[in-house]
Amino acid sequence: MSETWSQAEFERHLRKIGAERYHDKHPFHIRLHEGKLDQGQVQAWVLNRFYYQKSIPLKDASLMGRAEDIALRREWITRIIDHDGAKPGEGGIERWLILAEGVGLDRSYVMSCAGVLPATRFACDAYIRFVREKSLLEAIASSLTELFAPDLHKTRIAALLEHYPFANDKTLSYFRKRLTQAPDDVEFGLAYVLREARSREQQELCLAALRFKTDVLWTQLDALNHAYVTPGLIPPGAFAPGDRR
């Protein structure tokens, strides 16, 4: 096996994956940020992305359930609380539902996940499985796409406000909140991965885990793009704009 990278060099390899494969470079995202999606296409994005949001606390709780280290659990638990909220009406999932209503979707339809693309389910379920079954180190490494997210959220807020009538302080509260949450989370996750990956083999596993996660995100946009933009072929049973809100 090759030599272990220094932490600085290892971090450079991790960040390179973001530069090459993070989903901000996907045409569907670019269209979203350029204001080129119509209402139905934005709805499809919000609806499918809800399934991803809904999966996050499941993967985080599964991760914690395997962490012997109490310090890690005390840190990681804030992610679950951020997403679930401490009580009804709070949390990131609730804020995503407010966005969903803002783009004209019915809250209970969104929560049912009935119209979600099969590809979205397969990708998000693969992510939950990955976190449950791989090493704790790989599970944490797979969360490091957050390294690339704050910039994306900042650009997104400005872009949505500029282009879409549904965008306002209330509907965009999910993204605003993430601006402050994600950097705290990622600082801990990055430090953990840099410290705990002690061999080159472990470092390579972390890179593969992060690459896997970029695949999970990219695949979701591929599916949205195919179903709702080009060629616009909606799979049997999936959400059809206009049919259901």
Q: Interface residues with its own copies (CB under 8 A)?
A: 20-21, 27, 118-119, 121-123, 125-126, 129, 211, 214-216, 218-219, 222-223, 225-227, 230-231, 233, 235-237
- Whole-number Cα distances in Å, 178 to 5, 116, 182: 31, 24, 5
Q: Which is nearer to its own copies, 21 or 79 (CB)?
A: 21
In whole angstroms, the minimum distance from the beta carbon of 25 to its own copies comes to 9
Q: Which is nearer to its own copies, 27 or 183 (CB)?
A: 27
Asked if residues 149 and 178 have their Cβ atoms less than 8 Å apart, the reply is yes
Q: Is the peptide bond before 231 cis (omega within 30 degrees of 0)?
A: yes
Q: Which is nearer to its own copies, 12 or 129 (CB)?
A: 129
In whole angstroms, the minimum distance from the beta carbon of 29 to its own copies comes to 12
**CB neighbour class for 20 (10 Å; exposed up to 12, middle 13-18, buried from 19):** exposed
What span, in angstroms and rounded, lies between the C-alpha atoms of 116 and 227? 11
In whole angstroms, the minimum distance from the beta carbon of 203 to its own copies comes to 19
- Whole-number Cα distances in Å, 123 to 167, 174, 210, 222, 244: 28, 22, 14, 11, 24
In whole angstroms, the minimum distance from the beta carbon of 120 to its own copies comes to 10
Q: Which is nearer to its own copies, 177 or 226 (CB)?
A: 226
